[in-house]
Structure formats: structure tokens, C-alpha cells
Structure 1
Amino acid sequence: MIWQFATRYFWAKKSTNAINIIAWISVCAIAVGTAALFIILSVFNGFSELVASLYSSFYPSIKIVPAQGKQLYLDTAMLQRIRAVPGIVYYSEVVEEKAVLSYNNEPTIAILKGVDSNYTRVSGVKNKIIRGKYETMSQGIPEGVFGYDLEGAMGIDVTRSDIPVTVYLPRPGADATTLPEQALSSDVLFPVGAFNIQQDFNTQYVITDIGFLRRLLSMKGGQMSALEVAIAPNVSDKSVQNSLQRLLGSKFVVQTRFDQNQSLFAIMQTEKWFVYIILSFVLVIAAFNMVGSLSMLVIEKQKDVTILKAMGAHESLIRRIFLAEGLLIAGFGAVGGFVLGFTICWLQQRFGIIKLGGTSFLVDAFPVSMHLADFLLITITILAIGVGAGWYPARTAARQAIELKAT
């Protein structure tokens, strides 16, 4: 009965056209606000997934690092136990160290990342090669795959150059009293490829053979900077993380991809919530039209309210009728907004209508990804705004005194 009254009040012709006009303005305002909120959140999702995909090409699903210091040691037996953890499909031993690279007598500071043969199974770097080839060792000669920006900054052409890059690394145990010529280990590697993932990696990383780097750093087999792990599809990284942490104990830290980029993902989530709050305030402002429309409807329906009360209707029934009226206005606006927002997002996904300016982006158009969670969040927000906007007019109608006049 409540919804019958509310629906009839919404569609019925009013004595003053302004009431109908304001009601439909409220519906349109909420529809536009809903569409804007849905589209903006979908764009944020698209950028988040794009950035996550870029970082996932370089960062593994799970990474094991030492709790203290720069190196860890895992013997063959422990590696076998790690491999036996449910969900793990591959692992790769990795050594990272800052080094000075010299090419044509021009020094550059970079990060050398020594990897084993399994590295291509735990990362997507091989798929991001844009020049040359992916290779870290050939016939016992160390080779390097350079970040695209680092290659350009050093003046290297990986497809043509036969000139090696000289690598300088600090010797373990060297201190201020060590002679300069004894403080550094040096060797050469040949640039053979360049990858393009993301600027943070493109400007500073060189991927080479782990044996080459261990020899320069006087490291033994089993010593590494980190163990990078790939997990099977549809396996929770959290469950694998917990299993590994219990296996390894407190001397090791097991990181998911989120943990490895915690500040980045935290900032992206914060920005998304900040935008959600701002656009929710836009919906709240739009809801003021609802308050005006419902208040005028209460005045319009004074006689109906009086008759209902005379027939025994409680204040709660009157209040719920006008609250339902507010929810109808919000609901029609939400449905229209979702249809509009979904249509725009689908067109953007399919045709890339709105382009990104410039030519240096990895994608041509704004990325969009629609999530069910956003739909539910916006729906709850609109319902809350609809109830809030309808509360005062509904309470006013419910408290209206009975004034029956004899005719």
C-alpha cells in the first residue's frame, strides 16, 4: 500500500506544474550525478588495472626478502619445501645491486638485477622487449637487457653496438681504509636488448645473469637478494603468503605484489575514495531539489494526509509513504544514471572515444573498467541520500494535525 500511494503521488498530475517540474529536475540531477560517479570510478579502476599490469610485468606475485640485511640464504632442501607449497608453480633466485656502468667513458649509476633461467616464468619482462632480444648469458659471455630510457641516456644501441659496458661494483668488506683499486670489482657485459615497462624500471634497471653478479659480489650458491615466486591462476596470494611465512619464520619477509608497491596502491585507493567523497557531495547538493519537491508535495497532499489520519493511519504510515516517494525519485535517477554511465563506459571500452593527449602514453584512450562493487557502493549511497532527503518532509507530513471541515 505504501508503494501504491508513493507511485500514484509521483505520476499524478499536481495542481501546480512546478511540483512535477522540480521532481523531474531532481531525477535528472541525481541521474547526472550517478552517471558521473560511475564513470569516474570506472576510469580510476581502468588506470589502477593498467598500472597494476605494468608493475606485474616486473614485480612477481610473491617475493621473499630478508627481514634484516640485503642478502638471504636458502639451501636446496628449503627451496624444495618452498616449491611444494600449494599454489606455487615457479620460483627464481634474484640478486640486485647498485652499480656504476661505464660506456664510452661516460659513467652512469644503475641497478643490476641478476636472474636465473626461471625468471621469465615469474615475470613478464621478456614480453616487454622492444629492441634487440632477451638474453643474459651467451657462450659464457655476460649480456644485459637495459631499460629503454637507460639505453637512450647512455647512448647505447642494443641492436648494433659491439662495445661492452664496464660494470663496477663495491667489493664486500671494503671500507674507507681500502685502496681505491681494491675497493671495486669490475667486469664487462654486452647490451643485447631493451625493455619498456614503466619509467621507474626503464630508467634504472639492467637485467643480467645471476652467476655473473654473484661472482662480482663474491656470493656463494644459495645466496641471493630475494626469491621471486609465481603462483597459479585463481590462487589467493594471501593464502600463499601466509603459508610461506609460517614455513620460513621471522627471519624472512614474504611480500605480495601489493606489499611490494604498497605506497603506490595506497595512493591510488586514497585518490579514488577522495573522488568518491567529492562526487557524493554533488549528489547531496542535487538532493536539495528532492527536499523542495517533497515539501511542496506534502503541502499539495494535505487533504489526503488528513483523510488517512481520520481513517486511523498512524504517523509511521504517513512518514513511510513520503519516504517511499523520496526513494522513488532517487531510484528513477539512479536507474537513469546507471544506464547513461554504463553506455558511456561501454562505448569508451569498445571504441576509445575520449583519447589521451600526447604520444608518450602506453594506451591511446582513457582506460575504463566497470566493477560490481562500485555499482553496489553507488546504489547504497543514493539510497542513503534518498532517505536523508525525504526524512524531513516525511516527518512534517506525519506530524500534520487533522483538520476536517464540515461542508
Structure 2
Amino acid sequence: MKNTLETWIAFRYLRTKRTEKFISLITWLSTGGVALGVAALIVVYAVMTGYSGKLRDKLVGMNAHVSVYALSGPIPDGGSEVIGRIREIPGIKRVVPILLGQALLASGGSNSGAAIRGVDPADPDFLEVVGKGMVEGSASSLGGEAPAVLIGRELATELGVKAGDRVRLTIPIGETPRSRLFLVGGVFNSGMYDFDSTFAFLSLKNADDLLGMNGAVSALDIRVDDIDKAPEVAETLRNVLGQRWWVGDWKRMNRNIFSALALQKAVLSLILGLIVIVAAFNVAATLIMVVIEKTREIGILKAMGAKNTTIRRIFAIQGLIIGSAGALFGAALGIFVCYMQNTFQFVKIPSDIYLFDSLPMEPEVISTAVFSIAAIALCWLATLYPSWQASRMDPVRAIRTE
């Protein structure tokens, strides 16, 4: 009953009279400030989380979970001896040899450099990842009789070719550069500009013929059962293979990128958190003005027997109402913005700079709850001084106040 009365009075004080429209406006602005701060935090955190997650998926999808290179150079005999040793290690899903090189692609009057990647055309991971992004042709064309190449969408646009056309690949290394005509078996879109403008896939056999590797391979790509445990698998491989081999996992090879993103997320969250802190000060200023405006009513309450704790609770409840309303509207607004962006992708970004062509957003339940609760807590803290000021009033002097 007591708490109900305090809550009713708190709501009544927020519903101002016609002569108190300024206080009403400040109250709405305070609530809006809290909502804006919470929404900004949710959206920015969702952008950074979404970008990191999408980048990780793309990097892990297009690259190996763990890569193994021989420090002495190419791995002879397709790496068959070391592959057998690697497959005995627990947690490893698949090991495939790859060939890497640089080539010049030419078609008509256009030409462009590309990173050649020789792969096993029967590799299910390759067929799944690249196959999902095919916009023309088929990933399985690498296994056909005609020498075929798969190129990214940006590279195809630069060369002016499409699936079914022919391009000439030239290896400008050595006294006699190697050159061969290939069928464009397909065009893929990975969603990452760097991949789509740079990579060209060949079958291992065709890449070996073009690069003149005589059965040797550049590296071994390893897929693990759990990508989060890739560093542990890589450490085991280092111990098993010895010092003549370089072993790197996807986290280690992209450590700088993800460290920078994590730092950027923390700094932006801290800066935007200042909006909520400023909004909390606005709540304090609003309640101070309410105390001044309601001095007479506070005096009457105290004269009727209201205790100091009761007066403090009334203004604490007011702050919680403003904070809760702002946090609720802010959370709803932030989630709505994320939903609209993910659905309609109205915010476009240059893919040649940020790798993706639209801004990915991934709101998290935990972070949304933390930001909302933190905003409400700050608003409650903002009520401490105004509520203390109201509770220490002398009822006689307060009633006499005009």
C-alpha cells in the first residue's frame, strides 16, 4: 500500500499542470536522451559485432582453419607423407594440398593480375563455400575435361568476361613465361571485394601444369571440427611436425584485424556511453526543478506525516520511471534500426574499403540488457541529490513557499 502511494505520487508529479509545461518538456527531453543513448549503444555494438562475425565467417569460409607451410619451400609429392601424420591428430576434419601463385589474366584488350589458387575440385568444403557464391557457371567445372578457371565477380567485370568465355593465364616468371588458355567455368561472389577482385581458382592438376611444380604443393589447408579450437590444433601440429614447418591458425593470421575491431568496439561504446551519462545529468536537473516546483506539496506531505525516506522514494521512483521508459524506447529503437538494416540494407558502404557492400548488424540480447540496465541504474543514481534535497525540507517553510 505504501509503495503504491509513493508510485502514484511519483506519476502525479510527472504529469505536470499547464503552468508547468517547461518541466514537462525537460522530462520528455531527459527520457529521449536516455533512449537515444541506449539506441546508439545497441546499434554501434551490433555493427561491430556483426562486422566481426561476418568477417570471421568469410575469412574462415574462404581460407583454411589451419595452414601448414614447409620452411624449405614447396612440399614434394603433394605432401602425402606429412598429410598422413597430420590426419592422426584428433580434432582434424580434413587436410587438402593447395598450390599458390601469381598470374596475369588477359581477355581481348583487358588484363589483370590475379592470385592463383590450385585446389582439389572434389573437396566438399571448396564446393560448398565457393559453390554457394556462384553467380554464373558451376564450381564443379574445375573437374571437367576442359581446363577451367573460376574467377571473382570484380575480376570478371574488370576483364569483361563471363562464364563460357576464354581467358589466357600467363606466369611471367623464368626465362620462358608459361601461358595457357582457360575456359571461364564460373564467376563467384564471396561478398568480399579483396577476394572477388583477386582470386582465380584452378584444379590442382591444371595449376601444377601452369606453375611447373612437378607434383609439389605450396601448402596444406586444414579444416578442424571446431574453429574456436584451431589455435590448440595448430599448437599440437607444431609439436608433432617440428621446427622445419610453419603452422598458423586463422586467429593468429588475422590477429591484428580482430584486435583492432575489438579495440574500436570498446572505444566507441565508451564514447557513446557518455550520451547516457549526459542524459542522467538531465534527469537530475529535471528532478531538481520538480523539487523546486513542488516545494509546497512536499511540505504538505511531510506535515501529514510522510517520512524522509518516503520523500526520497518518490523522487527515486520518478528517476526510475524516466530511466526505464528511456531504456525501453531506446532498446526498441535500436533493435528496430538493426532489423531494418538487415532486411533492406539501406546503409551501403564501399566494398573496396570495408570488404562488404552493406553494413551488417547483429544485436545481442546480453549487451542490449546490459546497456538498458546500466541506463536505468545511472538514472537512479541521478535521483540521489534531488531526493535528498527534497527530504531535508522544513515542512513549515515549504508550505509557506509561494
Place the TM-score, normalised by the shorter chain, in its bin.
0.7 to 0.9
Letter in 2 for 1:203: S
Q: Is the partner of 1:224 in helix, strand or coil?
A: coil
1:31 to 26, 30, 35: 35
Residue 244 of structure 1: aligned partner:
234
State the alpha-carbon separation in 1 of the partners of residues 324 and 284 from structure 2. Answer: 15
Residue 198 of structure 2: aligned partner:
204
Contact 1:245 1:252 in 2 (8 A): no
2:171 to 168, 171, 181: 168
State the alpha-carbon separation in 1 of the partners of residues 301 and 82 from structure 2. Answer: 78
More helix by share: 2
State the alpha-carbon separation in 1 of the partners of residues 158 and 118 from structure 2. Answer: 21
Q: Is the partner of 1:117 in helix, strand or coil?
A: coil
Alpha-carbon spacing, 1:53–1:308, altered in 2? closer, same or farther (3 Å): farther
1:288-307 → structure 2 map (5 Å cutoff): 288-299=281-292, 300=294, 303=299
CA RMSD of superposed structures (Å): 4.4
Cα shift readout 1:170-224 (whole Å, capped 9, x = no counterpart): 35xxxxxxxxx2xx55141413222222321222221112234345555465x53
Q: Does 1:280 align with 2:273?
A: yes
State the alpha-carbon separation in 1 of the partners of residues 321 and 201 from structure 2. Answer: 60
Q: Does 1:136 align with 2:142?
A: yes
Cα shift readout 1:100-148 (whole Å, capped 9, x = no counterpart): 3455586642211111235441461122222333333544x54321223
Residue 64 of structure 1: aligned partner:
67
Unaligned runs of 5+ in 1: 172-180
Contact 2:10 2:314 in 1 (8 A): no
1:213 to 203, 207, 215: 207
Letter in 2 for 1:239: K
Alpha-carbon spacing, 1:150–1:339, altered in 2? closer, same or farther (3 Å): closer
Residue 17 of structure 1: aligned partner:
20
Letter in 2 for 1:66: Y
State the alpha-carbon separation in 2 of the partners of residues 353 and 113 from structure 1. Answer: 32
Alpha-carbon spacing, 1:329–1:98, altered in 2? closer, same or farther (3 Å): same
1:370 to 357, 363, 373: 363
State the alpha-carbon separation in 2 of the partners of residues 201 and 363 from structure 1. Answer: 11
Residue 221 of structure 2: aligned partner:
228
Contact 1:132 1:158 in 2 (8 A): yes
Alpha-carbon spacing, 1:272–1:168, altered in 2? closer, same or farther (3 Å): same
State the alpha-carbon separation in 2 of the partners of residues 348 and 215 from structure 1. Answer: 47
Letter in 1 for 2:20: N
Alpha-carbon spacing, 1:358–1:67, altered in 2? closer, same or farther (3 Å): closer
Contact 1:85 1:244 in 2 (8 A): no
Alpha-carbon spacing, 1:152–1:358, altered in 2? closer, same or farther (3 Å): closer
Q: Is the partner of 1:95 in helix, strand or coil?
A: strand
State the alpha-carbon separation in 2 of the partners of residues 381 and 373 from structure 1. Answer: 12
Q: Is the partner of 2:324 in helix, strand or coil?
A: helix
Alpha-carbon spacing, 1:357–1:216, altered in 2? closer, same or farther (3 Å): closer
Report the TM-score when normalising by structure 1.
0.73
Q: Does 1:390 align with 2:383?
A: yes
State the alpha-carbon separation in 2 of the partners of residues 388 and 158 from structure 1. Answer: 65
Residue 149 of structure 1: aligned partner:
154
State the alpha-carbon separation in 2 of the partners of residues 108 and 348 from structure 1. Answer: 35
Alpha-carbon spacing, 1:24–1:143, altered in 2? closer, same or farther (3 Å): closer
Q: Is the partner of 2:383 in helix, strand or coil?
A: helix
Q: How many residues align?
A: 382
Q: Is the partner of 1:110 in helix, strand or coil?
A: strand
State the alpha-carbon separation in 2 of the partners of residues 353 and 117 from structure 1. Answer: 34
Segment of structure 1 superposing worse, 130-139 or 9-18? 9-18
Deviation, structure 1 residue 372? 1.3
State the alpha-carbon separation in 2 of the partners of residues 278 and 94 from structure 1. Answer: 45
Alpha-carbon spacing, 1:304–1:76, altered in 2? closer, same or farther (3 Å): farther
Cα shift readout 1:34-89 (whole Å, capped 9, x = no counterpart): 234434444554555555554454224x0314385765678545424533544433
Report the TM-score when normalising by structure 2.
0.74
State the alpha-carbon separation in 2 of the partners of residues 69 and 298 from structure 1. Answer: 79
2:248 to 246, 254, 257: 254
Residue 186 of structure 1: aligned partner:
178
Cα shift readout 1:195-254 (whole Å, capped 9, x = no counterpart): 222321222221112234345555465x5333323344xx3x232330332233364333
Letter in 2 for 1:229: I
State the alpha-carbon separation in 1 of the partners of residues 88 and 61 from structure 2. Answer: 24
Segment of structure 1 superposing worse, 280-289 or 17-26? 17-26
Alpha-carbon spacing, 1:133–1:371, altered in 2? closer, same or farther (3 Å): same
Contact 1:355 1:364 in 2 (8 A): no
Identical pairs, percent? 24
Contact 1:147 1:204 in 2 (8 A): yes
State the alpha-carbon separation in 2 of the partners of residues 146 and 358 from structure 1. Answer: 21
